Chains A and B, each alone.
Chain A
């Protein structure tokens, strides 16, 4: 959530500049549109009710990330969904002596100026939604929002090595999920 030149904040500006970011972060963490709408509404109402506090406040994007993450985690606890372990561990795809257990096929070369089409966007969003929650949180904050690992650790109460470990697993799971599609495109 980069900071769009902070100036006079109005409800209109909060809606225009921050609603899509908060909504998309919540949607990707929760994997559910209705819960994301509730979180977006709660977070932005907090901002608008405290506009005086935030006028000229350059730290608003950071604050928004933190509050959105906390609200999404709370919504998830409320929902009490448990989906850990639904996805196979990518590091199980190796033999006992550490070799690749199956064929590793290449993907088509991605263009330098990457513009995703609808099919690719949907594929990536579905793969993110399929990640177990403990990996999804870190992945969304690190690779979609592109926040530093230390900041993610602060938000989620994790050490930096724990953030990196979860991020790596998540990337490997994403790679496996996307492989099915991109390998087919080459064949």
Chain B
């Protein structure tokens, strides 16, 4: 039994998170050894995950940061009556 390239693409998430059953994993690895496009596809799938996980948080826009800080200070001040 062998896998098609499409089936390989469908299994990549389980392969990446280590939940692919052993027999499926063996079939997938065998396919990857003989199929250059799928090997590239798998590498770029992993690279996509790595790139996304490296995405830093952007700072707040300065004007919004100023407005938000002042709003939070006011909401947290002792004289504040919630809901008023």
Contacts A40-B68, A98-B5: A114 and B51 contacting too (C-beta < 8 A)? yes
The reply on B62 being an interface residue by CB < 8 A is no
A178 touches B61 (CB 8 A): no
The distance from the CB of A145 to the nearest CB of chain B, in whole angstroms, is: 10
- Chain B interface residue count, CB cutoff 8 Å, equals 43
Q: Which residues of B contact A40 (CB under 8 A)?
A: 60, 64, 68
- Determine which residue in A20, A104, A114, A139 has the highest number of CB atoms from chain B within 10 A of its CB, and name it: A104
Cα(A106)–Cα(B46), bound, Å: 12
Contacts A94-B9, A114-B50, A125-B55: A11 and B72 contacting too (C-beta < 8 A)? yes
Provide 21 A-B residue pairs closer than 8 Å at the C-beta atoms, listed in order of the A residue. Answer: A20-B57, A37-B68, A40-B64, A40-B68, A48-B75, A49-B80, A91-B10, A98-B4, A100-B5, A100-B38, A106-B40, A107-B47, A110-B51, A114-B50, A121-B56, A124-B55, A125-B55, A139-B52, A143-B53, A171-B48, A174-B48
Which of B's residues lie within 8 Å of A, judged by CB? 4-7, 9-10, 12-14, 36-38, 40-41, 43-45, 47-61, 64-65, 68-69, 71-73, 75-76, 80, 82
Which of A's residues lie within 8 Å of B, judged by CB? 10-12, 14-15, 19-21, 23-24, 27, 33, 37, 40-41, 44-45, 48-49, 51, 90-91, 94, 97-100, 103-107, 110, 114-116, 120-121, 124-125, 128, 139, 143-144, 146, 164, 167-168, 171-172, 174-175, 178-179, 182
